[in-house]
Each structure stands twice: as structure tokens, then as C-alpha cells.
Copies of this chain bind each other. A is one copy, B any other.
Amino acid sequence: MQVTRAGEYGVLGLLHLARRGAGQVVMIDEVSREERIPKSFLAKIFQSLARAGLVRSNRGIGGGFALAKEPAEITTLDVIEAIEGPIAFQRCLEAPTECPHTGGCPLCGLFEQAQTQVRDVFSRTTLADLMKSRVPAAAPATSLKPRAPTPARAAV
């Protein structure tokens, strides 16, 4: 029941790109250094993000990564699922295979509810929201609401 480091690093990395400004090309090396994420690992993570179309990559001198969309159009769900694959609380929720438990398994409904809630939270929060929500590091954690007013977002 955890978001993996890879997922976490992915969001952090994209957030770094977002802060550097839209369209800005940034090298893995910088992101790695400033966000304190192992470079090789981050490189691998960004590969997934590139394949998912969340970033564009450029090779060679002056190369690096840039966001492929506006920060407000990239949800944390996009990022996490690009890296970890679809969020699925249980096997029965990811495959068409039937639940093997006695008579209509009562748990599937429950797991599905939980899963939906999580996906909702992540799909409502974009990189833009996270940028706004940065807390001043010393203040006694005001409100942990990363905002919600993202209107019409086509979740997934």
C-alpha cells in the first residue's frame, strides 16, 4: 500500500521541470542533483515518462527533458501510472479474471471503492496545483489541501 520511490521521484522530477518554466529543457543531471535523486534511477524513470508522452527528450549537447504539456494538464495520476502502471488494489480489479471466492466476492466492491478514491485524489491534483501548494518549510503546516479547483479534467 505504497507509492513507490520511482513514482515519487517521477512527480518530484516533473515538478522540477514545471518550476523551471514551461518548455524549458533541463538535464537529468540537474534534476538529479537538485532533487537529490540518484541519477541513473531518475534517468530510467524519465524514460517511462517520455514513453507516456509527459515529457519530450532531446539528446546531445544542450539536450535534456522538457514538459510536453502544461503543468495544469499533467495530473499526478498520469505520472504515477506512467511509472508504476495502473493503480490496482487487487488482482480482480486489473484483470477480467473472476474472483475465486465463495459466491460473489464481497471484497471486490470494497477494494474498488478504495481504488476509485485514490485515483480521484491523484487525478484531481496536477503539477500546477503542487507548485502552488509549496509550504514555506518553517510554517507549522497550515492546511494540507493541495487544492482541488481543477475544473473539467478528463480523468484518464
Contacts and interface: CB of A to CB of B under 8 A. Distances in A.
Interface of A: 1-3, 8, 11-12, 15, 34-36, 76, 84, 87-90, 98-114, 117-118, 120-122, 125, 130-131, 133-137, 139, 141, 144-147, 149-151, 153-154, 156
Contact of A137 (B87, B100, B104, B136): B104
Given A101-B35, A156-B100, A110 B135 contact: no
This chain: copies in complex: 2
Main secondary structure of the interface of A (DSSP, over half): loop
Given A12-B101, A15-B106, 5 more contacts: A1-B89, A100-B156, A104-B139, A109-B141, A110-B125
Contact of A100 (B90, B112, B151, B153): B153
Contacts of A118: 1, 114, 117-118
